[in-house]
Amino acid sequence: MIKNILVLSLIFFTFHGPGAVAGTIELKNGEIITADIIKETEEAVVISRQNGKFIYSIVKERIKNIRKSTLEERDRQKKKEARFYGTGKEKEKSRQERPEEHYKERNKKEIIAARKARGIAKIEFSKNRFGVVDARLNGEVAASLMVDTGASLVVVSKETAGKLGFEETARMREITVLLADGSKAKAFPITLDSVEVDGLEIENVKGAISEKSPGQGIDGLLGMSFLRYFHVRLDTKENCLILERN
């Protein structure tokens, strides 16, 4: 039965945080899983095995019920894990070789849910334009923003600012910002209620309205006032942005 659990989305990293609770998860297919529940999101339940050595994520649409584990269930699970994981060299080699095959077989939806449960997003660039992502500002205004780790603020065009309700800049303090093409422009500081990219949202984000277009075909720059909350990686091979919460 333990082998069947590999239909879960397996993520190899070590968990050291507090608060894990022993729980029993009943799946809709009749399978019962006993493990430490370390986190629950709207989309998935994250569990750990072997004292956090292995972390799994189960999408909620597969779950029928979650309850507290009994002592008998926990003891039975420990014995199963001891038999399954073992300590021999061959089993260790098998575990090391498993990830590549495992990830190829996993359902894409479950992998995405597992990443989001950990605060990770793999974001395809908008219209296949490298570095440009779709964002939502203040929960309502869609914008195409160029990822710019050299920009200290999230910068938006005057047109986008107008959609956000920032129509009057005459009384605002003037600052200077660096745009995507390397040029400098006059700008006016603002605070955005929120900036959201692929489900990862940050509130009260410092920004600026640029009098000059931030760049051809874009609505602004996604600067460090948003990006500083994440580990940022631009993947040239898969043409995407990867964000992982700090």
* pLDDT tens-place values along the chain, 246 residues long: 333 333 333 333 333 344 567 888 888 878 888 888 877 777 778 887 666 666 667 777 778 898 888 888 888 877 776 665 554 554 555 455 555 555 555 555 565 565 555 567 889 888 778 899 999 999 999 999 999 888 889 999 999 999 999 876 667 788 888 776 677 888 999 999 999 998 899 999 999 999 888 778 899 999 999 999 999 988 888 888 989 887
- Which domains are delineated in the chain? 3-118 (2.30.30.100), 122-245 (2.40.70.10)
Mode of pairing for the β-strands spanning 154-157 and 200-210 = parallel
Instruction: Decide: 188 and 208 in contact? Cβ < 8 Å.
Output: yes
Decide: residue 173, CB within 10 A, 0-12 exposed, 13-18 middle, 19+ buried.
exposed
Residue bearing tokens 């990770």:
120
Decide: residue 222, CB within 10 A, 0-12 exposed, 13-18 middle, 19+ buried.
buried
pTM reported for the whole predicted model: 0.54
**CA dist list (Å): 126 to 44, 146, 226, 239:** 27, 10, 18, 10
